[in-house]
């Protein structure tokens, strides 16, 4: 059995060879990834030190985390999974659509 990964934030993500998934720890400060079964344990980061940070520093740290998650989201949106590629090969979506403004019923 693998040793659980220690996480210092209550919300975190897992992307071990699968789509990124976000989790929040349960009341026992434990969580498990539904895809890869990796176990996670929450351990409090030095809370005193965190409280001593000024508001601006805290916001910069939050912005950095949000920027990282946005970059990951954009990367995943650009990437096509194997199953998406197979679906496109099996049932390609046609460009023309009956709701198109140029569609003529006659």
The token pair that represents 92 in the structure block: 């390609």
Residue with tokens 């059995």: 1
| 48 assigned to some structural domain | yes
Please list the pLDDT of the chain residue by residue as tens digits (106 residues): 678 998 988 999 999 889 999 999 999 999 999 999 999 999 887 666 666 677 778 788 888 888 878 887 777 767 777 777 788 788 776 666 555 555 555 4
Give the strands of the sheet with 5-7, arranged side by side.
Answer: 5-7, 39-42, 30-32
Q: State the pLDDT at residue 104.
A: 54
What is the SS3 assignment for 23? strand
Q: State the pLDDT at residue 28.
A: 93
| 59 assigned to some structural domain | yes
Cβ-count burial of 12 within 10 angstroms (0-12 exposed, 13-18 middle, 19+ buried)? Answer: middle
| 23 assigned to some structural domain | yes
The token pair that represents 49 in the structure block: 């030190």
Structural domain count of the chain? 1
Q: State the pLDDT at residue 97.
A: 57
> What residues make up the domain containing 42?
1-66
Q: State the pLDDT at residue 100.
A: 55
| 85 assigned to some structural domain | no
The token pair that represents 48 in the structure block: 């005193």
Say how far apart CA 49 and CA 31 lie, in whole Å. 25
CATH number at residue 3: 2.60.260
Q: State the pLDDT at residue 11.
A: 92
Q: State the pLDDT at residue 35.
A: 93
10 Å Cβ neighbour count for 95? Answer: 6
The model's pTM? 0.43
Q: State the pLDDT at residue 94.
A: 64
């Amino acid at each position: 059995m693998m040793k659980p990964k220690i996480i210092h934030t209550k919300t975190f993500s897992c992307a071990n060879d699968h789509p990124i998934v976000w989790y929040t720890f349960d009341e026992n400060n434990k969580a498990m990834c539904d895809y890869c079964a990796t176990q996670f344990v929450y351990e409090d980061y030095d809370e005193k030190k965190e409280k001593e940070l000024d508001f601006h520093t805290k916001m910069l740290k939050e912005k950095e985390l949000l920027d990282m998650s946005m970059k990951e989201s954009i990367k995943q949106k650009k990437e096509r999974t194997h199953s998406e590629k197979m679906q496109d090969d099996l049932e390609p979506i046609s460009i023309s659509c009956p709701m198109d403004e140029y569609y003529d019923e006659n």
